[in-house]
Amino acid sequence: MDIRFLPHNIHLEDPGLFSSRDPNLQHLRKQLLIHRSELLDLLPRHNPGIYTISGGRQIGKTTLLKQWMNELLESGVAPECIIYFTGELIDDHHSLVRLFTDILNERQTADLSYILLDEVTYIKDWDKGIKYLADAGMLENVALLITGSDLVIIKEALMYFPGRRGTADTVDFHLYPLSFLEAVSLNGQIAADEIERLISSDIEPDDLLINKLYDEFDSYLAHGGFLTAMNDMAMRRSILPATFSTYNDWIRGDMLKRHKQEHYLREILGAIVKRYGSQVTWNALSRDLSIDHPHTVSDYVSLLESMDAVFIQPALLEDKLAAAPKKARKLIFSDPFIFHAVRAWLNPCQDPFDQQVVPALNNSDWAARLTEACVVTHYRRKFPTYYIKAEGEIDIAYIDKNRFWPVEIKWTKQLRPKELKQISKYPNSLILTRSKQIGKIRDIPTMPLPLALLRLCSS
C-alpha cells in the first residue's frame, strides 16, 4: 500500500490497535459526548456495489467511516479486506485507477472487500475512474463506499453508473448533523424512558418533563446538533471561537475552490441573514447587492445548497404538489449552528457565543426565525418541504402519501385571529406553539413545538 495512506489503515499492521491508534477514533475518545449514527446499521455488510454518503463538511463523515471499519473488524471481517483512502491525496482518476488496481491485485481472498473512498470530490474526474473499474469487472466483489460534500456533483456523476450500483435496496445515504431527538438522547439530561414517554402520542407529558425538553430545545438552537459544538457546550457551557471558525472556514474554502469571489459570498450570506425566513427573489437580492446579475446570486446560493449549507424552500403549487417556479423562495441555513458560524464570520468578535449566539436566542424575533428554520429543515430531512403563500402564509407544507400537510409555527406568546386565516382552510393542518400543552385553536390541533419536533424525528 502507498505509505501516505498507512496512518488511516493501522488495522493492516495490527487490527487490535486500530480503535486505539487511528487518528479519528483517538480524537473521538477524547470527547465527552460520543454518538453512534443509525447509518452504521444501514451500511452494506454483505452486498457488493457502489454506495455513497453525502453531507456537509465537518459533520463526521470520516469518523463514521472509521467507526464502520472498527465494527467490521470486530464482526470478524479480515483486516486485508478493508481499505481506506482519502481523496485529498489522490490527484486524478488515473491515480485512482492505479491505486485500486494495485490493491485489488494484491488481494488473496475471495471474500467481499470493503473500500472506503473519503471526500471523493477532491479527485479530478473521479467518476471516470470508478466507471472504468466497474466496467472492467474489478468491483464485482467490492463494497465501495464513497463520501463527498458536494451533493449535486455526486448525484450527477452517479447517473452514469446505471446497473453498476449493486442489488442493495438503499445505496445512497445522507449524513446530517444530529437531529433534535438524537441530540436529546446523547445529552443524557432526559432519561431514555422519559424520551419514550414524550414520544408516545397518547400520553400528556408532565410539567417537569416538558420543561426539560424546552431547555434541550434552547440548547439545540445554539449547537444545532454539530457534535463539536455540542461537546463544547457539554464541557464548557459555551462554544469555542475556534469551533465557529472551523465551520465558516469550510464554507469559504469550498467556495474559493470553485473559483468564487469571497466578497460576493460575504454579500450573499449577509443578505440571507438580513432576510432570514422571509420570501426573496433573485432579482430582489441582486438589486440590494453589488452583484450585477440575478443569475450570479442564484449560482452562489445553489452552490451553498449543494454543500448542504443552505436550504432553498420553494412555494407550493397546491394542485400539482410541486414547487412554484415563479414565486419567491425562502433561504435558510441547513442548521442553526451554520447560521451562528456565518454570523461570526460576517461580524467578527472575540467571543461569538456570548456576544452573538446568546443575545440572538434571547431576542424574541431572532429566536422565532431560528425556530422556524430549525423545524423546516427537520421536515425536509424526511419529506419534500415547501411553504404556502395565498391569502396568508403557511410556514411548512410537506408532501406525504400524495397530499400536502400544512404546519404553522407560532413561537410567540399570543396568536392573532388573522394569522390563522389561511391554515384554517385545511382540515389536516397543525399548529406548533410555544405553549407547553397539547390543545386546539379554532378546532386546529396544536402541539408544543419541541414535542412535535421530537416526535417527527422518531417517526
Q: What SS3 state is found at 118?
A: strand
Tens-digit pLDDT profile for the chain (459 aa)?
Answer: 788 999 999 999 999 999 999 999 999 999 999 999 999 999 988 899 999 999 988 889 999 999 999 999 999 999 999 999 999 999 999 999 999 999 988 876 778 999 999 999 899 999 999 999 999 999 999 999 999 888 777 777 777 777 778 778 888 899 999 999 999 999 999 999 999 999 987 777 888 999 999 999 999 999 999 999 999 999 999 999 999 999 889 889 889 988 899 999 999 999 999 999 899 999 988 888 888 889 999 999 999 999 999 999 999 999 999 999 889 999 999 999 999 999 999 999 999 999 999 999 999 999 999 999 999 999 999 999 999 998 889 999 999 999 999 999 999 767 777 778 899 999 999 999 999 999 998 889 999 999 999 999 998
Contacts of 414 (CB under 8 A, 6+ apart): none
Can you tell me the distance from the alpha carbon of 191 to that of 442, in angstroms, rounded to the nearest whole number?
35
- Between CA 223 and CA 229 the distance in angstroms is 5
Please tell me the distance from the alpha carbon of residue 11 to that of residue 1, in angstroms, as a whole number: 13
Architecture of domain 3-174 in this structure = 3-Layer(aba) Sandwich (3.40)
**Which helix (H) or strand (E) is 284 found in, with range?**
helix 282-287
Q: Is 351 left (phi over 0), alpha (psi -120 to 50) or beta?
A: beta
Domain ranges of the chain: 3-174, 180-458
Q: Which residue has the cell 454483505?
A: 46
pLDDT of residue 368: 95
- pTM, two decimals, is 0.93
Cell digits of residue 410: 407560532
